[in-house]
Every structure is written in structure tokens, then in C-alpha cells.
Amino acid sequence: MEDKEIQIGKYKIKVVAKDCIGAASCIAVSPGVFKLDENNKAVFVDGAADEAENILMAAQSCPTKAIVVTDAETGQQVWPD
């Protein structure tokens, strides 16, 4: 499965599909950005939007660290650190 990446505000966000176990904690934290697809993998909501810090919290809530957050300006990986 292809990994999808989007940019919201200052962050680029990627879900590494092979690492996603469908635990849905990211969705509980940020339902404006994440949803589960028919394969129980996290994908982005159409028109995904949320505060940057909440998106980071959603990524940090993922038990398998399947969500990678990168600073779009510096290119630096913010999470997992």
C-alpha cells in the first residue's frame, strides 16, 4: 500500500501504511485529519485540517509510530524523534 503525505500548516504528515495497525488513537485525537479506510488503515480526511500541535499529539498517540511529522520549512523530522 502506498504511503500518503499531506501538508497542513507548517507540518508535512505521512502515514506509513505498513506500520498502521488500525488502533485509531490518531482518529480519537484528531478526527479532522485522520480516518480509517476500508482496510483499517489510517488515511487523511478530505480537506484535512487541525491545529499543528494537535496533529503532533495525534502522531505521538500512535502505538506503532506510524505517523511521521516533518517540518515543511526546515525539512527536519519532528516525530518520531
User: For residue 59, how many C-alpha atoms fall within 13 Å in the half-sphere facing its CB?
Assistant: 23
Q: Strands 4-8 and 11-15: what pairing? A: antiparallel
Residue of the chain from 22, 49, 53, 77 that contacts ligand SF4 (CB under 6 A): 22
Phi, psi of 14 (to 5 degrees): -130, 140
Under the criterion CB under 6 A, does residue 23 sit at the interface with ligand SF4?
yes
Under the criterion CB under 6 A, does residue 25 sit at the interface with ligand SF4?
yes
Q: SS3 of 34, please?
A: strand
Size of the site for ligand SF4 (CB under 6 A): 14
Residue (56 or 73) nearer to ligand SF4, CB: 56
Site residues (CB under 6 A) for ligand SF4? 15, 20-26, 34, 42, 62, 64, 66-67
